[in-house]
Amino acid sequence: MRSLSIDLETYSSVNIKKSGLYKYVQSSDFEILLFAYAYDEEAVQVVDLASGEIIPEGVLLDLSNPEVEKHAYNAAFEYYCLSKFFRTVLEQWHCTMVHGLYCGYPGSLAAIGEALNLPQEKKKMAEGKNLIRYFCSPCTPTKRNGGRIRNLPFHDLAKWNLFKEYCQQDVVTERVIARKLSTHPLPSSEHALWVVDQLINIGGVAIDQELVGGALQISNHISEELSSKAKELTGLNNPNSIAQLKRWVEDNANIQIDSLNKQTVSELLSTKTGSDAVQTMLRLRQEMAKTSVKKYEAMQAVMCLDGRVRGLVQFYGANRTGRWAGRLVQVQNLPRNYLESLDTARELVKKQKVEALQLVYGNVPDTLSQLIRTAFVPRGGCHFAVADFSAIEARVIAWLAQESWRLDVFHTHGKIYEASASTMFGVPIELIRKGNPEYALRAKGKVAELALGYQGASGALIQMGALQMGLSEEDLPDIVQRWRASNRRIVDLWYAVENGAVKCVESGSPSSLPCGVSFTRDSKRMMIILPSGRKLFYTAPQLIPDDRGYKRLYFMGLNQSSKRWELTQTYGGKLTENIVQAVARDCLANAILNLHQAGYQINFHIHDEVILEIPDKSKQSLEEAIELMCKAPEWANGLPLCADGFESSYYKKD
């Protein structure tokens, strides 16, 4: 089969970073400026569409020719751009960026070029950002540029010729990367899943525009009101300035603080630090700092002409485990909702009844925050069915470790927090219920389950909020010891995983664990092979002795804080976390494919939850959807999958 590598340069007045690919392409002034292409290893050709050249007819025919694979770096972009004007088939496209992410490399073309140590002539050209800014976006009209709002090729032919070289070079770089990655092909199952992912993102989800508009109007009103109160109280010109307000709090409370972040404000309020005026200002600060309005603004920025937002999730966004990542509106960190009457709150926001909201709900910014999920709605004549896996990571780690008492819990009542507390403290589970003094143990079981599964200790419990739950630091070592004593097979799994990885890196010999996880390596990478057959990649693995001479495992990876490609340490618990989250991801992937093949419309998904748009007069049902989600793949024999869900006229947390 022939390969056709493609790279495009395009223009649109829509800001792609702010509004996303789909609104960018749907803009009426969107156009393709340059079309660079190459067959197999032939020379790269550049078609200058902006200057009147046309794409050869044979190339246009090959855009839908099943005997020609189309390749691009971030192929979602090239596919969607070309599909606006030409016939092309999504299934025939292959994404080199996804292939790189699968192999454990960073996502950007420049970053993967650095990570692969490509020679300079094969790397992405550094001048690209400035050229894209010049030709691909509107420009500010000035006297110097004659008042124009866009730069065309004839405005700077030297830059334009360099831009053509840049486009050509991207095809060169993409092909070199594809060759470098070819020793570890992207599994066909992952390509099929990528295709479904594109269909989900292209379909998108509707937005309740009246709710979003009402929320933004109310937010502006409340912001002005709070700012006015803060000015009157503090005498500051700009109480929204963190620096000014920090100094005011320090002066009036006679304290020194590092910041005025959410945690600091909460602590100062809980300890009743300072005068009544300081406490009042801190409460105002809490309300002023609510970020819910940013989500509403993001929805407006992303929303297409048909009232739908698209591109909310990125395939293989977490390149270590393959999980999806949130984009644009960032649906993976939406505030939870606790309001008893969401319907009433939504109607009051739509009608912009500020006083009624204050009377009924008190804190209006918090109310807007809790309603953010409900801005996602099904199209007319449909309703949402929302279904999610129950305690998926806890189930997966129990299955991998074959921790029998945990598997019994998940095969029966599923109350893992109560069961964990019962096992840890030797108390019958029947007594751990509301109204009994033993119910206090549930909090310890819960925080232990959330924090300790991946070799965490007291620090992990604190990070998970143990102290805020009423536990003391003195309690924490005992909780750690009790949890580990109750979960010896999971503890064994941590060390078995670490030993398997170290042995593989040190000797180069493959090894496997009873749970279906195995380790192998080549000259450049260590691979963990999951029960599904999918691989997790660890580039340039090496063993470095610590101060005690113990061999610690390192690899080259993307630092999530600095975003740099650098040496990264790992250990048994962290590797176990990678494996568990990757297996949980494979379960969600299986569920998505099951639902798609059964004809269900997936609007989007968050973590382990899918949001389905079901016609009101349809044979499709929540019950069938849950059954399809829990239909385990062949490799997951014995994994106790369970899902639950609800139906609604808008998205929410049930």
**How confident is the model over 452-469, as a mean pLDDT?**
91
In 524-561, which positions are buried (b, 16+ CB within 10 angstroms) versus exposed (e)? ebbbbbbbbebbbbbbebeeeeeeeeeeebbbbbbeee
State the Cα–Cα distance between residues 642 and 446, nearest whole angstrom.
Answer: 19
pLDDT value at position 314? Answer: 96
Query: What average pLDDT does this structure show over 119-133?
Result: 84
The pLDDT, as a whole number, for residue 388 is: 96
283: exposed, middle or buried (Cβ count in 10 Å: 0-12, 13-18, 19+): middle
Does position 290 have pLDDT exceeding 70, yes or no? no
The domains of the chain are located at: 2-186, 204-377, 382-392+515-654, 404-486
Backbone angles phi, psi at 542, to 5 degrees: -155, 155
Task: Say whether pLDDT at 122 is over 90.
Answer: no
The pLDDT of residue 495 is 96
Q: How far is residue 581 from each of residues 102, 319, 438, 496, measured CA to CA in Å? A: 15, 12, 32, 17
pLDDT at residue 124, as a whole number: 80
Q: Average pLDDT in the 160-170 region?
A: 96
Dist. CA 493–CA 510, nearest whole Å: 17
pLDDT category of residue 40 using cuts at 50, 70 and 90: very high
- Checking if the pLDDT of 260 tops 90, the result is no
Q: What is the pLDDT of residues 565-608, one digit of tens each?
A: 999 999 999 999 999 999 999 999 999 999 999 999 999 999 99
| pLDDT > 80? residue 561 | no
pLDDT number for residue 485: 95
Q: What is the pLDDT of residues 261-276, one digit of tens each?
A: 888 888 888 888 888 9
Which CATH architecture describes the domain 2-186?
Answer: 2-Layer Sandwich (3.30)
Sign of CA dihedral 219, 221, 222, 228: positive
Per DSSP, what are the bridge partners of residue 34? 9, 48
pLDDT at residue 204 in the model: 98
- Which of 26-40, 217-231, 366-380, 588-602 is least confident? 217-231
Helices and strands counted in the chain (H then E): 25, 20
- Average pLDDT in the chain: 94
pLDDT at 291 over 60: no
Alpha carbons 342 and 438: distance in angstroms, whole number: 34
More reliable by pLDDT, 239 or 289: 239
Residue of 491, 555, 74, 118 whose CA lies nearest to 315: 74
Q: 448 and 420 in contact (C-beta within 8 Å)?
A: yes
Taken as a whole, the chain contains a residue count of 654
Within 8 A by CB and 6+ apart from 251, the residues are none
- Mean pLDDT value across residues 230-257: 89
Condensed to tens digits (0 to 9), the pLDDT of residues 59-73 reads 999 999 999 999 999
Asked if residue 119 has pLDDT above 90, the reply is: no
pLDDT at 297: 94
* Average pLDDT of the residues in 381-387: 98
Nearest 5°: phi and psi at 78? -60, -40
**Residues 13-40, mean pLDDT to the nearest whole number:** 98
Report how far residue 515's alpha carbon sits from residue 579's, in angstroms, rounded to the nearest whole number. 11
Paired tokens of 355: 């006083």
> Which CATH class name applies to 382-392+515-654?
alpha beta
Tell which residue, 589, 536, 581, has the closest CA to residue 190: 589
Q: For 43-47, 220-224, 383-387, which range has the lowest pLDDT when averaged over its residues?
A: 220-224
Residue 49 has pLDDT above 90, yes or no: yes
Please indicate whether the domains covering 2-186 and 382-392+515-654 agree at the CATH topology level: no
Give residue 583's Cα distance to chain centre: 17
**pLDDT of 240 above 90:** no
Number of other CB atoms surrounding residue 587 within 10 Å: 24
